[in-house]
Amino acid sequence: MEAKGFKCQMHFNQPYADFTSPGARQVDYPPADIFSCIAGRTVKLVLEKSWAAIFVIVNDKVTGIATNVYLTGM
């Protein structure tokens, strides 16, 4: 993913959140070991689009994935 411009980092014992479906409420999860990757780009002068992926790690295996796309700006 880093080759595609994502910045990735391992986080230990961190809470994280996800949305179960478009328009749904945010679901907060308890602390876990996660590997997160995020990338963003400007799509208009004052608008940025960001992509995020979180991989939940248990016993050195991915046990869950949370993804999201964000638009920020005016």
Q: How many Cβ atoms are within 10 Å of 27's Cβ, its own excluded?
A: 11
CA angle 10, 15, 19 (to 5 degrees): 105
pLDDT at residue 64 greater than cutoff 80: yes
Which tokens is 22 given?
Answer: 């478009």
Give the percent of the chain with pLDDT over 90.
Answer: 46
The distance between the two most distant Cα atoms of the chain, rounded to a whole number of Å, is: 44
Q: How confident is the model over 38-49, as a mean pLDDT? A: 85
40/46: higher pLDDT? 40
Q: What pLDDT was estimated at residue 67?
A: 86
pLDDT at residue 69 greater than cutoff 70: yes
Which residues lie closer than 8 Å to 32 by C-beta, 6 or more apart? 13, 14, 15, 16, 56, 57, 58
Q: What pLDDT was estimated at residue 58?
A: 94
